[in-house]
Amino acid sequence: MAQVKVLTLEGAQAGEMELDDRIAAAPYHPFLVKDAVVYQMAKARQGTHATKTRSMVSGSTKKQYRQKGTGHARMGDRKAPQRRGGGIVHGPLPRDHATELNKKVRKAALRTALAERLRSAQVLVLDGLELSTHKTRGLIEILAKLEAPSALIVVDDIGRNLALAARNLPEVEVIHFSQLNVYNLLRFEKALVTKGALAALQTRLAS
């Protein structure tokens, strides 16, 4: 079992916490991390981009001019794709961009990313994160003491004050531990994880 330092909101050490070696000592696998990031980003794509085919474009279906005798190429209605304002051929249609990634692979990727961030001191374990006020200024002061202006905050219970204090900070995001994935772990400069959230993550990832 590895020992991880636990900090107070003031940045002082409040003790240590045991962390399973399967998480703390997991070797770094960049290809696993890359696959997990691609998986998360593909899932997040809306896939609503679309163009109109000739059957969707509004306009008359009347033939523009007679087939022969005009000296021009034969021409159908004004919705033909070769005419300006006509339909689009083989354009994008609404679709799901999500890819498949096995659950075991996703867990392994999160383990290796979390271990690497712990080794580089980019994950701080907090004794707790209960705010006495919903004011954003209070949270900014806490983040300044922890030297984490850009932070992902991972908790086991999102309190109302914490949610309200963080919502105006573009470089801060608060999530429940069950929402943690490789992409949002790597998006921020540091991750602040409460003891309760880390214990729950350990149970989830060490199995």
| CA atoms of 19 and 185, how far apart (whole Å) | 18
What DSSP assignment string belongs to 118-159?
Answer: HHTT-EEEES----S---HHHHHHHHHHTT-SSEEEEESS--
Domains observed in the chain: 2-46+98-205 (3.40.1370.10), 51-91 (no CATH)
> How is residue 94 written in tokens?
């609404």
Instruction: List pLDDT tens digits, range 154-183.
Output: 999 898 999 999 999 999 999 999 999 999
Instruction: List pLDDT tens digits, range 20-65.
Output: 888 888 999 999 999 999 999 999 999 999 999 999 999 888 998 8
Cβ neighbors of 36 (< 8 A, separation 6 or more) are 101, 105, 106, 109, 110, 113, 181, 182, 183
